[in-house]
Structure 1
Amino acid sequence: MKLSFLAAFALATVAPLASGYAIKGDAVNCRSGPGTSYSVKKTYKKGQNVSISCQQAGTSVSGNNIWDKTSDGCYVADYYVQTGVNGYVTSKCSSGSSSGSSGSYCKTLNQAGLSLIEKWEGFVSSPKPDPIGLPTVGYGHLCKQKNCAEVKYKFPLTKSTAQQLLNDDIPTYTKCLASYLNASKVKLNANQWAALTSWVFNNGCGNAKSSQLVKRLNNGENPNTVASQELPKWRLAGGRVLQGLVNRRADEVKLFKTASSKQAFPKCS
C-alpha cells in the first residue's frame, strides 16, 4: 500500500508539469500518430506553448524516440519540445502504435540512415542546383515546382526544418522500395533497410525498380553479397564517375553490413 501511494503521489506531482512547454524548433509538425510517416494535423511555431496529455515511443528524431501527445490531440516529436529532459515527464499513452510502421515495413529510417543521407546530401538552406544541375533544397529534396514552391517550410531553411522536410520525404522512398521487394524472400534489418533507402533516395524509385540489386534480392541471394557487389556500381551522375558517389556507396555498404537486431522489412520492429 505504501508503494502504491507513493507511486500515485509521484504521478500526481508530475502531471501538472505537462503544461506550458515551449516549442524549440521552427514550424514543428504535430501528427496523427507518434512517427514522421503519420499525416500532419497542424504546425506549431517556435516559442509556442503546448500542453502534453501523455507520451509514447515512436520514430527516433535526432536520437530521441519519445513523442508527446498534445492537448490538440496530435503527436509532436519530444526533440522539438523544451521539457528540459530527454525522458518522460508525464504518463505513457495507454493505446496506439509505438512506431510509424503501421504494423508492416518501416516507413521511416533509424537515426543511422537519416544521418547518412544528411551527410551525403549536405544542407542547402534555399533552392539551388546540385552537382548535375537539379534544383534541390534541405537535405536532398528535389524541387517539384518552381523555386520549390511545394515546400511548406519557410526559406531559408534551418537545419531543424530541413530535417523535418527530409522526414516528410523519406516515406515516398520506403514505400516504393517495399513495393519492389518480394516479402516472402527478402528479410532486411533496420540498417540494411536504411542503406537501401539512402540508395533509392539518391537514384530514384524508377532506377531501383529495374535494378539488378532488387532482382537479385528477390531471387533470394544473400543480401550482404548483393549489396557489396551492386551498390558500388551506382557511382555515375551525368554520365561520369563522381568520387562523392563512390564514397557514399561505400558508406551505404558499411551500414548495410552493420548488424542490427531490429527488423524493418517486411515487418517493422
Structure 2
Amino acid sequence: MKFTIVTALTSVLALGASAYPIKGDTVNCRSGPGTSYAVKKTYNKGFEVKISCQTPGEVIEGVKLWDKTQDGCYVSDYYVKTGTSDYVAPKCPTSGGGGSCSKYPRSNQATVDLIAEFEGFRANVYTDPTGNPTVGYGHLCTKSGCTEVKYPIPLSKANGKKLLADDMKPKEKCLTEMTNDKVTLNANQYGALVSWTFNMGCGAAKGSSLIKRLNNGESPNKVISEELPKWVHGNGEVLPGLVRRRNAEVALAKKATSDKALPVKC
C-alpha cells in the first residue's frame, strides 16, 4: 500500500513539473489542432503551459504535432519549448470533445468532374505562368519533373482526376473545420462549396459572409445561391470564367441527393 501511494505521488509530482514555456510572442490556443479552429486563449512569450496530450494536426513551420494544454485548447508544438520535436505527453484520443475530430467528408464524383472541367487538363508536365512545374488538372508539383506524382506520366484523364481528388483533400478538411454543427449539407451542396474553396482558397472562404451565414444556421441553398455569385471578380473586373464556374456550383448545390456530408459525426 505504501509503495502504491509513493508511486502515485511521484506520478503527480512529475505531471506537475511538466510545464513548458511559450516561445512565440503571442500564441493562440485553439479549439482544435489547426489554424482554422476558433481561438480560445492567447499565451504570451514565456508563459508555461502544461500539456495533457499531443496529436498530429496542421503543419506549422515543418512541425506537425499540436499540444493540448490543461486549459483544454490546442497550440502548435512549434511554439512550445519542449526541447524535442517528438512526443512529451500521451497521444490525444482520436475522437471526442475539444474540436479534435479529424474526419472530413470526401467529395463525390460530380464535384471532381466540375472542378476538372474548369481547371483544364494537361497530360504532360508544363511550366505554369508563375514558373512552377504543373501536370494534370492544375497539380502544382513539389519536385522537378513531378516525380512525386504516383500516377504514370503522361497522365490519363482518369488518373488526372484521381490526382485532383488527392489535391482536394486539404480544401475538404478546411471547409469541414470552418463550419459548425448548425451546418447541414448534402453531398452536392458540400461539393459546390469544396469547388469554391478549391478555387478561392481556405483563407478567403473562412472570412466570408457565406460561411458566417451558414454557421448562423441559414438555409444552405439560399446562402449558396445568394453568396457564390459574388465571387466572380479578378483585378476588379467580372471574369466570365468565374461566372460560369459559380453558376455550375450553384446548379450542383441545387441538385437533389440523399447523400449526407455535414455535419461530421465523430
Query: What TM-score range do you get, normalising by the shorter chain?
Result: 0.5 to 0.7
Q: What's 2:107 paired with?
A: 109
Q: CA separation of 1:226/1:189 partners in 2, compared to 1, >3 Å: closer, same or farther?
A: same
Residue identity (%): 54
One-letter code of the match for 1:265? L
Higher CA-based Rg: 2
Q: What's 2:243 paired with?
A: 246
Q: How many residues align?
A: 165
Contact 1:127–1:136, Cα closer than 8 Å, also in 2: yes
CA RMSD of aligned residues (A): 2.6
Q: CA separation of 1:125/1:237 partners in 2, compared to 1, >3 Å: closer, same or farther?
A: farther
> Which digits, 9 at most, give the CA deviation of each residue in 1:195-232, with x for residues without a partner?
11111111111211111111111111221111111111
2:217 corresponds to 1:231:
no
Q: Aligned to 1:216, which of 205, 210, 213?
A: 213
Q: Aligned to 2:178, which of 177, 180, 205?
A: 180
Q: In structure 1, how many angstroms separate the alpha carbons of the residues matched to 2:130 and 2:219?
A: 34
Q: What's 2:187 paired with?
A: 190
Q: How much has 1:137 moved relative to structure 2?
A: 2.3
TM-score by length of 2: 0.55
2:155 corresponds to 1:157:
yes
TM-score by length of 1: 0.55
Q: Aligned to 1:118, which of 113, 116, 119?
A: 116
Contact 1:130–1:136, Cα closer than 8 Å, also in 2: yes
Contact 1:103–1:267, Cα closer than 8 Å, also in 2: no
> Which digits, 9 at most, give the CA deviation of each residue in 1:72-114, with x for residues without a partner?
xxxxxxxxxxxxxxxxxxxxxxxxxxxxxx99541x2112111
**In structure 2, the residue corresponding to 1:247 is in which secondary structure?**
helix
Q: CA separation of 1:159/1:192 partners in 2, compared to 1, >3 Å: closer, same or farther?
A: same
Q: Aligned to 1:263, which of 257, 260, 264?
A: 260
Higher relative contact order (CA 8 A, sep 6+): 1
Q: In structure 2, how many angstroms separate the alpha carbons of the residues matched to 1:128 and 1:241?
A: 28
Unaligned 5+ runs, structure 2: 1-100
Q: In structure 2, how many angstroms separate the alpha carbons of the residues matched to 1:180 and 1:141?
A: 24
Q: CA separation of 1:239/1:154 partners in 2, compared to 1, >3 Å: closer, same or farther?
A: farther
Q: In structure 2, how many angstroms separate the alpha carbons of the residues matched to 1:136 and 1:162?
A: 12
Q: CA separation of 1:234/1:127 partners in 2, compared to 1, >3 Å: closer, same or farther?
A: farther
Q: CA separation of 1:244/1:130 partners in 2, compared to 1, >3 Å: closer, same or farther?
A: farther
